[in-house]
A and B are shown apart, each in its own frame.
Chain A
Amino acid sequence: MKTWILTHRFTLARRVVQLSILGLYMAANAYGFMLLSGNLSSSLVMGTIPLADPFAVLQMFAAGVLVGMDVLLGALIILLFYMVVGGRAFCSWVCPMNLVTDAANWTRKFFLLDRAVERKIWLSRNVRYWVLGLSIILSLTMGVAAFEMLSPIGMLHRGLIFGMGMGGAALLCIFLFDLFAVKHGWCGHICPLGGFYSLVGRLSLVRVKHDHTVCTSCMKCKEVCPEKHVLGIVSKSSGAIVSGECTNCGRCVEVCESHALFFGVRNYINTNVGEKE
Chain B
Amino acid sequence: MSNHATQQITARRKFLTLMAQSVGFSALGGMVWSGYIAEAKAAPLILRPPGAVAEVDFLRLCIKCGQCVEACPYDTLNLAKPGDNKPLGTPFFNPREVPCYMCTDIPCVPVCPTGALDEHAVSRVVEGKKELDITKARMGLAVVDVESCIAFWGIQCDACYRACPIMDSAISLEYRRNERTGKHAYLVPIVNSTMCTGCGLCERACVTEKAAIHVLPLEVAKGAIGGHYIKGWDASDEKRLETQSSDVTTRTKRSEKSAQDYLNADEEVFK
Contacts and interface: CB of A to CB of B under 8 A. Distances in A.
A137 interface: yes
A105 B215 CA distance: 48
Given A134-B33, A162-B69, A162-B79, A142 B114 contact: no
A7 interface: no
A150 B38 CA distance: 12
Contacts of B88: 148-150, 154-155
Interface in B66-92: 66-67, 69-70, 78-79, 81-84, 87-89
B37 A144 contact: yes
- Chain B binding site: helix, strand, loop or mixed by DSSP? helix
Contacts of A89: none
Nearest to B23: A130
Given A37-B70, A67-B61, A133-B26, A142 B84 contact: no
Contact of B114 (A42, A131, A141): A42
Contacts, number: 139
B34 A38 contact: no
B60 A42 contact: no
A41 B78 contact: no
Q: How large is the interface on B (under 10, 10 to 19, 20 to 34, 35 or more residues)?
A: 35 or more
A74 interface: yes
Interface string A24-47: 000011001000011101111000
Contact of B70 (A28, A65, A146): A28
A41 B64 CA distance: 7
A147 B261 CA distance: 62
B112 to A, nearest CB: 9
Sort A-B residue pairs by CB-CB distance and give the 10 closest, nearest first: A165-B81, A166-B83, A42-B65, A166-B82, A38-B65, A165-B83, A167-B82, A162-B79, A65-B60, A42-B63
7 contacts: A37-B70, A39-B64, A71-B114, A137-B30, A148-B63, A149-B37, A162-B69
Interface of A: 28-29, 32, 37-39, 41-44, 50, 52-53, 56-57, 60, 63-65, 67-68, 70-71, 74, 126, 130-131, 133-134, 137-138, 141-146, 148-150, 154-155, 158-159, 161-167, 169-170
Given A38-B113, A144-B60, A148-B89, 5 more contacts: A130-B25, A141-B34, A158-B81, A165-B82, A166-B83
